[in-house]
Amino acid sequence: MILTEKEVLQILMTWRHRVEAAAWVVVRDSHASEDIFQNVALKALTRDVSFESESAVLSWAFITARREGIDWLRRRRRETPEIGVELIDLMCLEWLTRDPGGARVEALRECLERVPEESRQLLRWRYFEGRPCQEVARMVGVKLDALYKRLSRLHESLRDCVESRLPPLPREEQA
């Protein structure tokens, strides 16, 4: 049975952050990833494509996001992605084999809201404003190496915070 537009959109919105994150792995620009997701959603509704299952929608969405990301890179930077297509597809597949992540996204949102302002500022500069680490290091007043360490620890603490808020996954699903 063919999924309706409403059902397709519902699936895409549930998976939005992961599709955007897959695009981000290619373009490393959060605003571009958001645009790419919008294009993916638009294509799913306006192009002559139909889907029979959730997994069909998602496989198509991840592949389309990857392609859009590569197009974006070529147009804006005239570069090909550093990460090869096969590796991106493998990561997308791994994204697909996990739960939709609604609870996970909510947990991450809560954890981010608890991050101290100084750290939040660092994340804001790096990911929202897209500033290179060199520039963020200068603004924070630390050396580049120290900034990489700090950023890495921040991601780690966010990951730990999210995991502490979620019920444990069956062992074979853990990364």
Partner 1 sequence: MMEQQLSAEEREQIVRFIDGGLSRSRAAAVLELLGRNEAARAWLREVAEHAVLISELERSEMARRGEYQRMRPHPQEAGALRSGRRWLWTGAVLAMAAALVVVAISWAVAWQRDRAREQWQAVLEHSRGSLQWTGDGGKVISGLEPGARVSGGTLQTLSTDSWAVFRYRDGSRITLAGRAEVVVADTARRVIHLRRGSLSADLQPPQREGGMLLHTPTAEVRVLSTRFDARADETYTTLQANAGRLQVRRKSDGVINDVPEGHRVVVTLRTDALLVPRRPGAPVPDWQAELPECVTHGKWVPVEGGKGRVKAEPLLMLHHPNGPQPVEVVSASVYSCQPAPVELQDASELVLRGRLRRSGRVYVGLTATFPGGGAAGKFLASQPVEVGQGGGDFVLRVPGADFVPLEEGFPKSVAGLQLEDCWGVTCQEDDLGLEVVAMEVHGPRQMARLPQEGGISPGTVGSRR
Q: Where are the alpha helices (DSSP H) in 29-99?
A: 30-46, 54-76, 85-96
* Least CB distance to partner 1 at residue 71 (A): 8
**Residue 114 DSSP code:** T
Kindly state the tokens that stand for 122: 């660092």
Q: Is 61 a binder of partner 1 (CB under 8 A)?
A: no
* Least CB distance to partner 1 at residue 11 (A): 18
In contact, 126 and 151? CB cutoff 8 Å: yes
Q: Is 41 a binder of partner 1 (CB under 8 A)?
A: no
Q: Is 143 a binder of partner 1 (CB under 8 A)?
A: no
Q: What is the CB neighbour count within 10 angstroms for residue 35?
A: 16
Q: Is 36 a binder of partner 1 (CB under 8 A)?
A: no
Residue whose entry in the numeric block shows the structure tokens 């991840």: 62
Q: Which of 11, 41, 61, 108 binds partner 1 (CB under 8 A)?
A: 108
DSSP one-letter string for 95-106? HHTS---HHHHH
* Interface contacts to partner 1, rule CB under 8 A: 17-18, 20-22, 24-25, 28, 30-31, 33-34, 71, 75-78, 82-84, 87, 90-91, 94-95, 105, 108-109, 112-113, 121, 123-129, 132-134, 139, 144, 148-149, 151-152, 155-156, 158-159, 171-172, 174-175
